[in-house]
Amino acid sequence: MSTLSAASVVVASAFLPSLFTARPDARTRLRDFFSAHIRNPNTRRAYREAVKQFSAFCAENGIMDLAQIQPIHVAAFVETGTRARN
C-alpha cells in the first residue's frame, strides 16, 4: 500500500477548480477527500478529471458557488456527458 507524501498532497490540491476553492471549508474537504480517501492513483486522476469537467460545466452555466448547485445541475452535467460520448 502506498502512502502520500506532504508534497503529493500539495501538488494534488493545486488542481482544484475555483468552484471548490472559494470557500476554505470546501477546499479543505475536497483536498482531504482526494488525499485521504482515494488511494489508487488512477482513480484519483479519473475523479480529478470529473471534478474539473463539472467545475467547467458549472462556470459555463453561471454557477460560481457550491451552494448554488442543485440535483438538476448534476443531472444536466451527466446528461451532457452521456450525449457527448454517444
Listed by start position, the domains of the chain span 6-85
Percent of the chain with pLDDT over 90: 29
| Cβ neighbours for 27, distance < 8 A, ≥ 6 positions apart | 13, 16, 20, 21
Confidence bin at 15 (pLDDT 50/70/90): low
- Is residue 11 pLDDT above 70, yes or no? no
Phi, psi of 36 (to 5 degrees): -110, -30
Residue 85 confidence (pLDDT):
66
Residue 31 confidence (pLDDT) above 70: yes
